[in-house]
Amino acid sequence: MKKLTTTMMQETVNKHDGRLTVGLDLGDRSSFYCVLDGTGDVLLEQKVSTTPKAISEIFGAMPRSRIAVETGTHSPWVSRLLSELGHETIVAHARSVRLIGESRRKDDRIDARTLARLVRIDPQLLCPVKHRSAEAQADLTVIRARAALVRTRTMLVNAARGLTKSYGERLRGCNARGMKPKAAQDLSPELKYALEPMMREIESVSERICEYDHLLESMARNRYPEAERLKQIKGVGTLIALTYMLTLEDPYRFRKSRDAACYVGLQPGRRNSGQSEPQMHISKEGDPYLRALLVQAAHHVLGPWGVDSDLRRWGMQLAEHGGKRGKKRAVIAVARKLAVLLHRLWVSGDMYVPLRPGAEAALSAVA
**41 or 1: which carries more pLDDT confidence?**
41
Q: What is the pTM of this model?
A: 0.83
Partners of residue 34 on adjacent β-strands: 23, 45
Residue 87 pLDDT > 60, yes or no? yes
> Could you tell me if 199 and 184 are in contact, meaning their C-beta atoms sit under 8 angstroms apart?
yes
Residues 6+ away with beta carbon under 8 Å from 131: 75, 76, 79, 80, 91, 137
Residue 51 pLDDT > 90, yes or no? yes
Q: What is the DSSP string of 128-142?
A: -B-PPPHHHHHHHHH
Residue 350 pLDDT > 90, yes or no? no
How far apart are the C-alpha atoms of 336 and 330, rounded to whole Å? Answer: 10
**What integer is the mean pLDDT of 76-99?**
88
Which pLDDT belongs to residue 324? 73
Q: Quick one: what percent of the chain has pLDDT higher than 70?
A: 87
Residue 210 confidence class, pLDDT cut points 50, 70, 90: very high
Which pLDDT belongs to residue 2? 40
175-194 confidence digits (pLDDT tens): 777 788 888 888 888 888 88
**What integer is the mean pLDDT of 134-151?**
95
213-247 confidence digits (pLDDT tens): 999 999 999 999 999 999 999 999 999 999 999 99
Q: By C-alpha distance, which of 112, 118, 107 is closest to 34?
A: 112
Residue 9 pLDDT > 70, yes or no? no
Distance of CA 336 to the CA centre of its chain: 16
**98 or 309: which carries more pLDDT confidence?**
309
Which pLDDT belongs to residue 355? 84
Secondary structure class of 19 (helix, strand, coil): coil
Which pLDDT belongs to residue 279? 62
Residue 276 confidence class, pLDDT cut points 50, 70, 90: low
Which pLDDT belongs to residue 140? 95
Mean pLDDT of the chain: 86
> Could you tell me if 234 and 301 are in contact, meaning their C-beta atoms sit under 8 angstroms apart?
yes
Which pLDDT belongs to residue 287? 87
Which pLDDT belongs to residue 128? 85
Which pLDDT belongs to residue 274? 62
Residue 17 pLDDT > 60, yes or no? no
Count of residues for the chain?
367
Task: Measure Cα distances from 236 to 65, 304, 335 in Å.
Answer: 44, 16, 11
**What integer is the mean pLDDT of 164-177?**
82
Which pLDDT belongs to residue 1? 34
Which pLDDT belongs to residue 203? 92
How far apart are the C-alpha atoms of 309 and 241, rounded to whole Å? Answer: 19
97-127 confidence digits (pLDDT tens): 766 766 666 778 888 998 999 999 888 888 8
**What integer is the mean pLDDT of 31-54?**
91
**What integer is the mean pLDDT of 11-33?**
81
Considering only 173-187, 253-267, 328-342, which range has the smallest mean pLDDT? Answer: 173-187
Which pLDDT belongs to residue 4? 44
Which pLDDT belongs to residue 153? 94
